[in-house]
Structure 1
Amino acid sequence: MQTPVAEIKKKNVFVLVPAFPCQFKAAVNYMLDSGKFNVLGLTNETDADYLRFNIRTLNENFQLIPNLPVTYPIIESAVIAYSLELTKLKQQNNIPDLILAHVGSGMESLISDIFPGVPLIGYYEWYSDYKLSKEPLSIATNHYHNYYLHNFIKNSSVVVTPTRLQRKQFPSDIQHRMMILHEGIDTSFYKPTREIITKDKKVITYVSRGLEPRRAFLQFIKIMNLVLQIDSNIVVKIIGNDKMYYKEEGFSEISYKQEAIRILTEGGTIDKVQFMDAQTNAVTLKTLQESDLHIYFSIVAIPSWSFLEALSTGCVVLTSNTGVVDEFYWKDKPNFFFTDHDNYFSSRDTVLKLLYTDNSQTRRNAREYMLRNYNNTMCERKWGDLIESLL
C-alpha cells in the first residue's frame, strides 16, 4: 500500500496594485498556473478576466479627516484605506509569505510595518522631476513623492522596473538596486492575421489609453491633417479615451478629441478620420492587423503597452525620436521607424513614403523582436524564477 503524498502547502502571496493585475500580470499568471500559490489581490479595480480569483477591491477615495492639510491627498487617502484592510487581514491570521507591491500610490505604504520580515518585491514606474514645475505646491508634492519612493526602496527585498528608460529616471544611488523585468505582451494574441485583408484605402492607426499631450496627440492630428490633404486614399483609425491620464503643469485639461475635431474640420479632412474611443482587445487587434502604418508618438514618459502590441502584431510603426522607445530598436534588424513629431511637414513626408514602400521585412523584424524579447511565456518564467528565489 502506497503512503499518501502529503499535499504541498500553498504559499500566500499578496499583490497590491491600483488595477489588478496590470503590471503584475506575468507574475500572477505564473502563480495561478503553477497551482502552488494562494494569490490575494488588493486593488481599486480588477480586470474582468481575473474576477474569479480572490481579489479585494477597495475604494480609497473617501473623505479625509476634515481640515487636515495634506500634501499628496491621493497617496494619503490610500495609506489609510489599505493600512486598515491589511491590519484586518493580519488580525484574521491571514499572513503573506511574499508581497508584490506597485509602489507610488500609497496603498503599499505601511505593509512592511504590518507584516515585518516578509519578502517584498517593489515595482517602480517613475521618479518625479520637481524641476519641471515652478509652482511651490507642485514642487512640494513631487518632493514628497520622491521621498516616499526612497523610503520604500529600503523595505524592498527586490526592486523592479520594466525598462531601462524608467530605471534611468531614478537617482544613481538607487539605479544599481533596480532589476529590469518587463511583464511582457501576449504574443499569441497580438499576432499578424493569416487572412487576406481587402481594403479600398490605406489604413493609418493610432492607439492610446487617452488622447492626450503626453502621447503627442495633437501633433499626430496636425500631421494627419497634412497627410490627408494630399492623399484622399487614406483612412485614419484612432482608439483611445477622450481623457487626460497624465495631468501636469503646462497641459490644459481640455477635450483633446474636440480640439482634434476642430483642427480636422477646418482642414477639410474630418471625414477621413474615425474616432473609435476605447475598444476591447479583440477590436484593437483587428484594427492593428489591418494597419498599413501605425503611429506611436510620445513625449518623454513611460513606454506604452500599445507600442509593443503593435510590434507584436507585425505593424509598420512610426514613432517619436524622443528617446522613449530607443531601447526597443533592433539595430541589426530594424523593426520600426523614427520621426520628429514636432516637424509636421517632414513627418507628413515620412508617413506618405512609408505608406507606399514595401516594409514587409520590417514587419517580420518587429514580430521576431517581440517573440525573442517580450513574449509573455518568457516573461512569466522570469517572474516565476524571481518569486521562487524569495521563498
Structure 2
Amino acid sequence: MKILFVHQNFPGQFPHLAPALAQRGHEVLALTAESNNRPSPVKVVKYRNPEKVTLSSPLTRLYAESAERGMRAALAARTLRDRHGYVPDVIVGHSGWGETLFLKEVWPEAKLIVYAELMYQTTGLDTDFDPEFARDNLGSRISTTARAAHLIQSMVQADAGLSPTEFQAATFPPELRAKITVIHDGIDTDRLTPDPSATLEIPGGHTFRVGDEVLSFVNRSLEPYRGYHSFMRALPGVMAARPEAHVVIIGDEGQSYGAAPKDGISWKQRFLTEVQDRIDMSRLHFLGRVPYPTYVKLLHVARVHAYLTYPFVLSWSLMESLGAGALVVASDTGPVREMIRDGENGRLVDFFDIEGWSRVLTECLAEPERFAPLRGAARDGIRATYDLKRVCLPKLVDFVENAGR
C-alpha cells in the first residue's frame, strides 16, 4: 500500500510505526512543514509554512491558523497528485494543527486515520482543574469550546481515530469516541532496561550512582500543567527530612501547555523563588533540556521519581520511568490512574496535597527496600501491556494495514 503520514513535526508520534510499515514493503511517505528539520526514518515532502494569521479575536484565530495550515498541506497534496500521480491508500495524520482538514478534498478515496490526542472540554479536564490558575467564567468556557472546532471537524472527516490511552480517547464525545481505537505508541523497554552500574555526571562536579539518594522530576517544560508548583512546594519538607537527598530536575524554562506567567517571570523561577529560602540550594540541580541518554541515566540512578499532571495528555516520561523500573510517586489524576495502582506498581498522591507529597516522597527515599517490589511490578506491567516491539507496534501496524484493505 501507499501510506502517507502527516505531521508538522514528523516523526512526532510515529518514529517507529512509519519505518515498520516501510520494512513490510509498503510505500511510506511523510508530509511535514518546511520548517521541520528533524531526522526522518522515511522519505519526506514538505508543505509551505502557513501565512501568519492577523485576526485579533482568540475565538477565531486558532481555527484560522489551523485552517491555514490545512490549506498548505492540501496544496502540497494536490501537487503530489497532479504532478506525480501520487494517491495514498491510507493517510495517518495528527489532528492537532489542522493538517488533515482538507486532505479528503484531494484524495477522497484514501482512508484517513486521525491521531486523536485529546478533545478540549470546559469541565472535568485541565481547564477547570487547578483553582490557583482556573478562570471560572463564561469567556474562558467559550474560548475552550472554540479551541475544539478544528479537532471535531478532523474527527468527523476521519474514517478512524487512534488514541494512546483510554483516558484520552474518553475526552471525545460518544459519537466520535466510537471511531477511536486505543493503542499506545509503545515503550522501548529494551532500551530502558534497568542498569545497576549506571552513573550520572552533572554540572558542578556531582556524580550519582544507583543507590544514591536522588529524587528526580522530568518534564518538557517546568509549568503548572505538569505539577511543577506542587512538586516544588513539597521540597522543603522532603529536603529537611532527608538531609542527604539530592533533587535533580530536567525541563525547559518556558511553557508547553497553558498560559505563560503574566508578570514575565518564568514558572520555573516563580516557584523556585517561593521556596528557595527553605531548601538547601546546593542539593537542588536544574539540568534544563538534556540528551535522551542523560535522561535515561537519571531514571536509572534515581531512588524516587516524581510525576504530576493535570487531567490532560499523559507524558511519555511517566511510561518510560515505569518501564525503566523506577519507583514512581505520581499525581492521583485520571490519566495516571490508568497506569498506576497505588501500592502495587507505584504510589499516588492527591495533586494538591503538599504535605502528602512531602510525606510520601520522604518515605520512599528513606525506605528503598520496602518499596523495591513496586519497581519490579512497574516494569513488568509496562512490558506486558505497552512494550513497543512485542505489543504496541504489531497492533499499530495491523491497525493501519487493515484500514487500507
Matches within 5 A, 1:61-100: 61-64=50-53, 70-72=60-62, 73-92=64-83, 93-100=85-92
Q: Which moved more, 1:178-187 or 1:191-200?
A: 191-200
Structure 1 position 160, deviation (Å): 1.3
Q: Which moved more, 1:322-331 or 1:358-367?
A: 322-331
| 1:122 partner letter | V
Output the CA distance in 2 between the equivalents of 1:27 and 1:47.
19
| Stretches of structure 2 lacking an aligned partner (at least 5 in a row) | 128-134, 200-208
Could you tell me whether the CA contact under 8 Å between 2:34 and 2:48 is conserved in 1? yes
Structure 1 position 184, deviation (Å): 0.6
Taking structure 1 as the reference length, the TM-score comes to 0.88
> Paired residue for 1:32, among 9, 17, 22?
22
Structure 1 position 165, deviation (Å): 0.7
Output the CA distance in 2 between the equivalents of 1:24 and 1:46.
15
Aligned residue in 1 for 2:402: 389
Matches within 5 A, 1:1-391: 11-43=1-33, 48-50=38-40, 53-58=42-47, 60-64=49-53, 70-72=60-62, 73-92=64-83, 93-130=85-122, 132=127, 139-195=141-197, 198=209, 201-248=212-259, 254-329=265-340, 334-357=344-367, 358=369, 359-377=371-389, 378-391=391-404
Could you tell me whether the CA contact under 8 Å between 1:25 and 1:183 is conserved in 2? no
CA spacing shift, 1:348–1:137, aligned 2, 3 Å:
closer
CA spacing shift, 1:26–1:213, aligned 2, 3 Å:
same
Could you tell me whether the CA contact under 8 Å between 1:294 and 1:316 is conserved in 2? yes
| Stretches of structure 1 lacking an aligned partner (at least 5 in a row) | 1-10
Structure 1 position 136, deviation (Å): 6.4
Could you tell me whether the CA contact under 8 Å between 1:42 and 1:58 is conserved in 2? yes
Q: Which moved more, 1:32-41 or 1:67-76?
A: 67-76
Structure 1 position 216, deviation (Å): 0.9
CA spacing shift, 1:291–1:180, aligned 2, 3 Å:
same
Q: Which moved more, 1:227-236 or 1:125-134?
A: 125-134
Output the CA distance in 2 between the equivalents of 1:15 and 1:247.
28
Output the CA distance in 1 between the equivalents of 2:71 and 2:137.
27
Deviations 1:307-341 (A, max 9, x none): 0010011000000112221111358x811111123
The CA RMSD over aligned residues, in Å, is: 2.7
Aligned residue in 1 for 2:202: none
Output the CA distance in 2 between the equivalents of 1:210 and 1:49.
22
Could you tell me whether the CA contact under 8 Å between 2:188 and 2:387 is conserved in 1? yes
Aligned residue in 2 for 1:3: none
Taking structure 2 as the reference length, the TM-score comes to 0.85
CA spacing shift, 1:66–1:298, aligned 2, 3 Å:
closer
Structure 1 position 196, deviation (Å): 6.6
Could you tell me whether the CA contact under 8 Å between 1:62 and 1:77 is conserved in 2? yes
Could you tell me whether the CA contact under 8 Å between 1:299 and 1:322 is conserved in 2? yes
Deviations 1:103-131 (A, max 9, x none): 13111110011111101111111111245
Figure out how many residues of one structure are paired with residues of the other and give that number. 379
CA spacing shift, 1:256–1:44, aligned 2, 3 Å:
farther
Output the CA distance in 1 between the equivalents of 2:324 and 2:37.
22
CA spacing shift, 1:61–1:232, aligned 2, 3 Å:
farther
Q: Which moved more, 1:348-357 or 1:192-201?
A: 192-201
Structure 1 position 154, deviation (Å): 2.9
CA spacing shift, 1:49–1:246, aligned 2, 3 Å:
same
CA spacing shift, 1:310–1:116, aligned 2, 3 Å:
same
| 1:54 partner letter | K
Could you tell me whether the CA contact under 8 Å between 1:26 and 1:379 is conserved in 2? no
Structure 1 position 229, deviation (Å): 2.3
Output the CA distance in 2 between the equivalents of 1:349 and 1:207.
20
Matched residue of 2:184: which SS? coil
Output the CA distance in 1 between the equivalents of 2:252 and 2:260.
21
